């Protein structure tokens, strides 16, 4: 019973907004530290690849962006499922917040992949299975964003977006397995849970640091977008009006907690 109470409390926009406020400075510091250290390590101190030279260094942006583009879609789809099943409006808010972040990461993955592909394959673009399925992922993200704007009814927009997000999950395993199922220019994954990495440790460690940094950065941006969405949707509630009034009188941001909440 206690676990279910915690679950439903987590679904409260007000509770979520108040509790996540103190996390933001810490996530910001951790994300910036990991990304700066990982970028400097990967670009300045990792050795050049014996085949690709220095062009391989794009992986320190491309690989983490691709990882988060896929993982972020699962976050969005799971939130859509939670919203449909348990009628939690916070889940729909997170789903909506995740869409533009995922679209941006997918776009970065495609662009950096093209930059990597030119010196490696001799072409900016190739309609192989991995690249094409990633392009479909971008269209899915954009489709969900379009559905959010297409309906005047917030409930209809949320439900239709959640259904599209769930249907689109079929594309994720296709992206993962595309290099194994079809002939493709794209190289096999260098990082696998079922086998040892195929990349040297001097290149691997900064890459892992960048991946973790991107995950923390994703969490930070997702929280910020979700908090913004909460304020927009809950604008007529008393606690948001109190929050806005408090920020206006204090001249700065506040976590919105009353003395009783503290």
pLDDT, tens digit, 9 for 90 and up, residues 164-191: 999 999 999 998 887 777 666 666 666 6
> Which pLDDT band, with edges at 50, 70 and 90, does 262 fall under?
very low
The mean pLDDT value for 34-40 works out to 97
Torsion of CA 143, 75, 138, 27, to 10 degrees: 120
> Which pLDDT band, with edges at 50, 70 and 90, does 80 fall under?
very high
Q: Is residue 220 part of a domain?
A: yes
Q: Is residue 259 part of a domain?
A: no
- Residue predicted with more confidence, 177 or 79: 79
Phi, psi of 117 (to 5 degrees): -70, -30
For residue 52, what is the enclosing H or E element?
none
Q: Which pLDDT score, from 0 to 100, does residue 187 have?
A: 66
Q: Is residue 60 part of a domain?
A: yes
What is the residue range of 224's domain?
A: 27-46+54-250
d(CA 94, CA 118): 36
- Residue 49 forms beta bridges with which residues? 53
Measured between alpha carbons, how far is residue 204 from residues 38, 56, 61, 262 in Å? 11, 12, 13, 44
Q: Is residue 152 part of a domain?
A: yes
How many domains is the chain built from?
Answer: 1
Q: Is residue 238 part of a domain?
A: yes
Q: Which pLDDT score, from 0 to 100, does residue 257 have?
A: 46
Q: Is residue 258 part of a domain?
A: no
Q: Is residue 18 part of a domain?
A: no
In the predicted model, is pLDDT for residue 50 greater than 90? Answer: no
> Which pLDDT band, with edges at 50, 70 and 90, does 241 fall under?
confident
d(CA 124, CA 195): 30
Phi, psi of 49 (to 5 degrees): -75, 140
* Averaged pLDDT of the chain: 87
Q: Which pLDDT score, from 0 to 100, does residue 190 have?
A: 61
Q: Is residue 121 part of a domain?
A: yes
- Residue predicted with more confidence, 17 or 188: 17
- Percent of residues, the chain, with pLDDT higher than 70: 83
Q: What are the tokens at 237?
A: 């509630």
Q: Which pLDDT score, from 0 to 100, does residue 178 have?
A: 78
């Amino acid at each position: 019973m206690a676990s279910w109470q915690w679950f439903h409390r987590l679904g409260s926009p007000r509770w979520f907004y108040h509790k996540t406020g103190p996390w933001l400075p810490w996530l910001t510091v951790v994300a910036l530290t990991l990304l700066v250290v990982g970028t400097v390590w990967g670009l300045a101190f990792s050795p050049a690849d014996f085949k690709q030279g220095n062009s391989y260094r794009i992986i320190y942006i491309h690989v983490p962006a691709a990882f988060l583009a896929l993982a972020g879609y699962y976050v969005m789809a799971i939130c859509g499922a939670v919203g449909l099943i348990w009628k939690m409006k916070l889940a729909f808010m997170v789903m909506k917040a995740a869409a533009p972040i995922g679209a941006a990461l997918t776009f970065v993955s495609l662009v950096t992949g093209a930059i990597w592909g030119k010196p490696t394959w001799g072409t900016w673009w190739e309609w192989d299975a991995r690249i094409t399925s990633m392009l479909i992922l971008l269209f899915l993200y954009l489709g969900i964003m379009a559905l959010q704007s297409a309906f005047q009814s917030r409930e209809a927009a949320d439900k239709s977006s959640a259904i599209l997000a769930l249907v689109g999950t079929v594309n994720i395993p296709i992206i993962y397995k595309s290099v194994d199922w079809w002939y493709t220019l794209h190289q096999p994954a260098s990082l696998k849970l079922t086998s040892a990495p195929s990349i040297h440790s001097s290149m691997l460690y900064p890459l892992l640091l960048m991946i973790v940094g991107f995950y923390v950065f994703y969490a930070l941006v997702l929280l910020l977008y979700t908090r913004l969405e909460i304020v927009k949707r809950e604008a007529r509630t008393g606690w948001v009006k109190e929050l806005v009034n408090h920020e206006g009188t204090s001249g700065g941001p506040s976590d919105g907690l009353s003395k009783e909440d503290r």
